[in-house]
Amino acid sequence: MIFSQKKTPEIDKTELQIPLFGYDLLRKDVLPDLLGKEHNIILYWAGKSLARKYPVSSIDEIISFFSRAGWGDLTLVKEKKSELIFELTSHLFIDKKTAICPLEAGFLAEQIQVIKGFIAETNEELRSGTPKKVIFHVKWDIHDRTV
């Protein structure tokens, strides 16, 4: 069968919006069912893998990626010798008792690992209030260089 070579108009993917309900269905119901009780750790490693597919070279590019991916507004709030602290706010966290972001945490860990040149890991914590925030602590050991 020969398919038509007719061109379809380009869709500006930056303007598309996903309904919050649909996002929640995938993130909170489908993925945990598919991945089982270890879904958070699997999503963390999936975030690291995603970072390798979409490498960046600066923190500004990480912040831009979060925005483009619809993950929320990422802000670097503190920089220490071997730790970066980021804050993530998003309309996705409204009316949520908990907001966990293992995919985003893994993505951050891998990107910072490449940028800093040391093995890095990210821990997250939920800060209540209005708006709710997820705080990411990205830490690395200055004695544990990447190869």
The 3-state secondary structure of the chain reads: CCCCCCCCCCCCCCCCCCCHHHHHHHHHHHHHHHHHHHHHHHHHHHHHHHHHHCCCCCHHHHHHHHHHHCCCEEEEEEEECCEEEEEEECHHHCCCCCCCCHHHHHHHHHHHHHHHCEEEEEEEEEECCCCCEEEEEEEEEEEEECC
Q: What is the mean pLDDT of the chain?
A: 84
Percentage of the chain lying above the pLDDT 70 cut? 78
Mean pLDDT of 16-45: 81
Domains and CATH numbers, the chain: 20-145 (3.30.1380.20)
pLDDT at position 118 is: 95
Distance CA 132, CA 90 (A): 8
**Is 9 a residue whose pLDDT tops 60?**
no
| Dihedral sign (CA 62, 64, 67, 70) | negative
Q: Which residue has the higher pLDDT, 128 or 39?
A: 39
Confidence at 18, pLDDT banded by 50, 70, 90: low
Q: What is the pLDDT of residues 55-71, one digit of tens each?
A: 999 999 999 999 998 88
**Is 102 a residue whose pLDDT tops 80?**
yes
Q: Which residue has the higher pLDDT, 16 or 38?
A: 38
**Is 15 a residue whose pLDDT tops 50?**
yes
Percentage of the chain lying above the pLDDT 90 cut? 52
**Is 135 a residue whose pLDDT tops 70?**
yes
Distance CA 86, CA 63 (A): 10
